[in-house]
Chain A
Amino acid sequence: MNWESWSEFFSMGGYGVYVWGSYCVTIICIVGEIILISKRRRTLQKHLGLIHESTAKEIKNETTS
């Protein structure tokens, strides 16, 4: 084990800023990408929902009229 204490782990031999700077940005990008895709998927579901309802309504009107 290289690290005696957590504080030493975070200081990373004085280079903590650079190491954790790059790791945090990586995590932010990855999580961001996942969120973006799922958001894009959710708006799509809503959009599909609208299409679906409008077509369902049309079918109902035709059958009733």
Chain B
Amino acid sequence: MAINWFKYSSPASFYSLAGKMVPIFFIAAVLLLVAGLYIGFFVAPTDFQQGEAYRIIFIHVPAAWMSMFLYLIMAFWAGIGLAFNTRLSSMVATAIAPTGALFTFLALWTGSLWGKPMWGTWWVWDARLTSELILFFLYIGFMSLQAAIDDPRRADKAGAILALVGVINIPIIYFSVQWWNTLHQGASVSLTQSPTMASTMLMGMLIMALASWMYSIAMTLMRTRVIILERESHTAWVSELHQKEATR
């Protein structure tokens, strides 16, 4: 029985599919979050070097990973939407951007909060924090470009070009910041490769990464559904759907 995947590329059927999937991903995210936090706070030992402050790692690293990962996925869907002119993929790309920007902000916030006890200052021009900041500007640029264009089709395509140009630049920015940073001060303590990652710490962090992954999928699907409704509000299936919901 060949599943006709293309059925789900039409916004109407995708809407109902996403509707069913959102709660599943949300519950998975909450369960993983609870498990991760439990391991992070109650099972993982205190770090001999950093004391208790290292526990911020359980949200800092997943947030940083997610921020870069979501940008790549956003650029992927934006590229698909541009190449195949499929409206739904551009909607998904537009839906990913705010969650990605949120994770970048969280990575910056927790990074600087972690830097304060460890390096003594709120903001350190560490190569990772700086490229994270630039990534945040890329997200803001993408969202403001899409917000400035009224016609959704042009907004999707313009955003797609910007996302693709941005994706080409991410490695360049990362390495140039890496190069720039090592010139100025010695390579400071790297946040992710702390010397010996006790297995429980690593386990906690990976579970939190999975939780943030589930969470972003749930968020993106929810936002895609809202975007679908916004853009298809004139269509018949939306008003009929609305009637069903109004009468319920």
A interface residues (Cβ-Cβ under 8 A, vs B): 1-3, 9, 12-15, 18-19, 21-23, 25-26, 29-30, 33-34, 37, 40-41, 44-45, 47-49, 51-52, 55
Given contacts A2-B42, A15-B52, A30-B215, contact A22 B59 (CB under 8 A): yes
List of B residues within 8 angstroms of A9 by Cβ: 41
Q: How far is the CA of A39 from the CA of B145 in the complex (A)?
A: 23
Q: Which residue of B lies closest to A1 (CB)?
A: B42
With contact pairs A1-B42, A44-B229 given, residues A21 and B113 touching in the complex (Cβ less than 8 Å) = yes
**A34–B219 alpha-carbon span in the complex (Å):** 8
Residues on B with beta carbons closer than 8 Å to the beta carbon of A37 = 219, 222-223, 226
What are 24 inter-chain pairs, A to B, with CB distance below 8 A? Answer: A2-B46, A12-B55, A13-B46, A13-B53, A15-B51, A15-B53, A18-B53, A18-B114, A21-B113, A22-B60, A22-B113, A25-B110, A26-B63, A30-B215, A37-B219, A40-B226, A41-B229, A44-B226, A44-B229, A44-B233, A45-B245, A48-B233, A51-B239, A55-B239
- 10 further A-B contacts with Cβ under 8 Å, apart from A22-B59, A29-B105, A37-B219, are A1-B42, A2-B41, A12-B52, A14-B51, A19-B55, A22-B113, A26-B110, A33-B102, A37-B226, A51-B239
A47 pairs with B219, CB closer than 8 A: no
Closest chain B residue, CB of each to CB of A8: B52
B203 to chain A, nearest CB (A): 15
- Alpha-carbon distance A18/B59, docked complex (angstroms): 13
- Asked whether any CB of chain A lies closer than 8 Å to the CB of B23, the reply is no
A13 vs B219: C-alpha distance when bound (angstroms): 34
| Chain A residues with CB under 8 A of B134 | none
Once the chains are docked, how many angstroms separate the CA of A45 from the CA of B241?
Answer: 11
Contacts of B109 in A (CB 8 A): 22, 25-26
Name the interface residues of B35-77: CB closer than 8 Å to any CB of A: 41-42, 45-46, 51-53, 55-56, 59-60, 63
* B161 close to A (CB within 8 Å): no
In whole Å, how far is A4's beta carbon from the nearest beta carbon of chain B?
12
A13 CA / B50 CA spacing, docked (Å):
10
B-side contacts of A33, CB under 8 Å: 98-99, 102, 219
1/0 per residue, CB under 8 A from A, across B226-247: the answer is 1001100110001100110110
Give Cα distance in the complex from A24 to B140, angstroms: 23
* Contacting pair A25 B52 (CB below 8 A): no
**Does B120 sit at the interface, judged by CB under 8 A?**
no
**What CA separation (Å) do A14 and B117 show in the bound complex?**
10
Q: How far is the CA of A29 from the CA of B110 in the complex (A)?
A: 12
Distance from A14 Cβ to chain B, minimum over Cβ atoms (Å): 7
A52 and B55 contact, CB distance less than 8 A: no
Once the chains are docked, how many angstroms separate the CA of A45 from the CA of B225?
A: 12
Q: CB within 8 A of B53: which of A3, A19, A30, A40?
A: A19
Which residue on chain B has the smallest CB distance to residue A48?
B242
Closest to A15 in B: B53
